């Protein structure tokens, strides 16, 4: 079975983990800072805080902004649940924004609409969380301008985008986002089992998140080597040295992984051409180069005369796994109960036409040919 995504683990990765298992540190040891330094190097951000997973990274970012009861935060509905849930963990209200129906990325007009909606309801918007969907970056320039005018923080859910470029630079280098979060779940561009991080240009925010990651504890060496203080309520959101050993080994291969993902995307584009325009290749924006977490072409299911569930079943019979990224978060029962029905036409359109095909560095050219040929057999 070809899944829609999977990790690439080699003997070097296994050896790195075993070496750490035999070392003095299993949880917080030297591998944490080493991995954080590697992340800074790869993202171009001066500070990185690694934590247990991408969801915790989102939660830490929201805590760092002091989001709480009465604060509203704008989140695109087209994302994984965790982006919105992190705001709810802090007691904040989520205001869902729309996205570009072609790319799934938040545009400035989507942000503006959500902002107007919040203002009408007398809500104070504290932050906006654009998502770098599929590994392509949202264009933050205008979003940041508008956010600055209103004193709103821009935080990016960059779970898909480790390895991406934004205006010719590594994804975390720009100051357009105050913070960026990442996930190292096995389907993402590097795998740590569970793993997440936040990058930022703001040292105070990084220090604050480091403290919140470990129970809110601040060491006070000035008082004594044993003394610690808790000023804020923190959590145990730490990651282990074992996982970071894997992360260090994996991030060395990030460029190789992303290069292969780009090759595979071009190959799919080429092989699916006979199905155009009923299947359109993913649209590329010119200010960004994607890390290609997902390969999700646009399907016109009406013109193809098949519904998505049936196509997924047919493909599954041929050992081809596919997935839908994502069911709009505003349509989930939990959020419907909170906020009622919301109309987001761009989100609906993107959702209706999306399907993620098998896509990971270990996929061979023949495998992409097999998937493409099977699609043609079913659809032509």
Ligand X SMILES: *Cc1c(COP(=O)(O)O)cnc(C)c1O
Q: Which residues bind ligand X (CB under 6 A)?
A: 53-55, 79-80, 82-83, 131, 157, 159-160, 183, 185, 196
Q: What angle do CA 109, 58, 33 make, to 5 degrees?
A: 130
Q: Are 99 and 330 in contact (CB under 8 A)?
A: no
* Cβ closest to ligand X, residue 135 vs residue 275: 135
Helix (H) or strand (E) run with residue 247 in it? helix 241-251
For the bound state, the minimum distance from the C-beta of residue 83 to ligand X, rounded and expressed in Å, comes to 5
Q: Whole-angstrom Cα distance, residue 322 to residue 316?
A: 8
Q: Which residue is nearest to ligand X (CB)?
A: 54
For the bound state, the minimum distance from the C-beta of residue 275 to ligand X, rounded and expressed in Å, comes to 27
Q: In what order do the strands lie in the sheet with 71-76?
A: 47-51, 196-200, 179-183, 153-157, 124-128, 71-76, 93-97
Start-to-end Cα distance in the chain? 23
* Cβ closest to ligand X, residue 172 vs residue 196: 196
For the bound state, the minimum distance from the C-beta of residue 223 to ligand X, rounded and expressed in Å, comes to 36
* Cβ closest to ligand X, residue 78 vs residue 379: 78
For the bound state, the minimum distance from the C-beta of residue 305 to ligand X, rounded and expressed in Å, comes to 31
Chain centre to alpha carbon of residue 125: 22
Which of 113, 157, 146, 71 is CA-nearest to residue 342?
113
Q: What angle do CA 126, 131, 134 make, to 5 degrees?
A: 175
Place of tokens 């915790």: 56
* Cβ closest to ligand X, residue 156 vs residue 275: 156
* Cβ closest to ligand X, residue 125 vs residue 329: 329
For the bound state, the minimum distance from the C-beta of residue 58 to ligand X, rounded and expressed in Å, comes to 6
For the bound state, the minimum distance from the C-beta of residue 105 to ligand X, rounded and expressed in Å, comes to 12
For the bound state, the minimum distance from the C-beta of residue 67 to ligand X, rounded and expressed in Å, comes to 17
Q: Whole-angstrom Cα distance, residue 343 to residue 330?
A: 9
Would you call 148 exposed, middle or buried from its count of C-beta atoms within 10 A (0-12, 13-18, 19+)? exposed
* Cβ closest to ligand X, residue 126 vs residue 325: 325
For the bound state, the minimum distance from the C-beta of residue 41 to ligand X, rounded and expressed in Å, comes to 21
* Cβ closest to ligand X, residue 123 vs residue 257: 257
β-bridge pairing 169-170 and 279-280? unpaired
* Cβ closest to ligand X, residue 47 vs residue 80: 80
Q: Whole-angstrom Cα distance, residue 57 to residue 80?
A: 14
For the bound state, the minimum distance from the C-beta of residue 279 to ligand X, rounded and expressed in Å, comes to 23
Pair of tokens at residue 50: 């690694």
- CB neighbour list of residue 83: distance below 8 Å, 6 or more residues apart: 58, 75, 76, 129, 131, 157, 329
* Cβ closest to ligand X, residue 80 vs residue 372: 80
Dihedral Cα 126, 338, 79, 271, nearest 10 deg: -150
């Amino acid at each position: 079975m070809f899944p829609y995504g999977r990790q690439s683990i080699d003997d070097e990765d296994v050896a790195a983990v075993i070496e750490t298992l035999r070392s003095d540190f299993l949880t917080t040891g030297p591998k944490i800072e080493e991995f954080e330094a590697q992340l800074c190097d790869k993202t171009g951000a001066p500070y990185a805080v690694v934590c247990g997973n991408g969801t915790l990274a989102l939660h830490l970012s929201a805590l760092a902004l002091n989001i709480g009861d009465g604060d509203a935060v704008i989140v695109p509905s087209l994302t994984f649940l965790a982006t919105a849930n992190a705001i709810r963990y802090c007691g904040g209200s989520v205001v869902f924004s729309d996205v570009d129906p072609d790319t799934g990325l938040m545009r400035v007009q989507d942000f503006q609409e959500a902002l107007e909606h919040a203002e009408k309801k007398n809500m104070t918007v504290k932050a906006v969380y654009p998502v770098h969907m599929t590994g392509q970056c949202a264009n933050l320039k205008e979003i940041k301008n508008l956010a600055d005018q209103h004193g709103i923080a821009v935080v990016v859910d960059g779970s898909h985008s480790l390895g991406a470029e934004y205006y010719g630079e590594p994804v975390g280098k720009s100051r357009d986002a105050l913070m960026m979060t990442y996930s190292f779940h096995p389907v993402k561009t590097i795998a740590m089992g569970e793993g997440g991080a936040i990058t930022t240009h703001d040292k105070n925010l990084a220090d604050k998140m480091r403290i919140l990651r470990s129970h809110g504890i601040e060491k006070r060496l000035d008082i004594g080597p044993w003394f610690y203080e808790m000023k804020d309520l923190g959590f145990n959101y730490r990651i282990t040295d074992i996982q970071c050993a894997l992360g260090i080994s994996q991030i060395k291969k990030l460029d190789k992984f992303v290069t292969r993902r780009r090759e595979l995307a071009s190959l799919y584009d080429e092989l699916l051409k006979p199905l155009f325009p009923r299947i359109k290749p993913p649209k590329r924006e010119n200010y960004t180069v994607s890390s290609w977490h997902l390969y999700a072409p646009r399907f016109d299911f009406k013109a193809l005369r098949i519904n998505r569930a049936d196509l997924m079943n047919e493909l599954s019979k041929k050992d081809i796994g596919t997935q839908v990224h994502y069911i709009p978060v505003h349509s989930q029962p939990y959020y419907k109960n909170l906020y009622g029905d919301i109309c987001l036409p761009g989100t609906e359109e993107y959702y209706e036409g999306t399907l993620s095909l098998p896509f990971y560095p270990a996929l061979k050219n023949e495998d992409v040919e097999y998937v493409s040929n099977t699609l043609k057999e079913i659809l032509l």
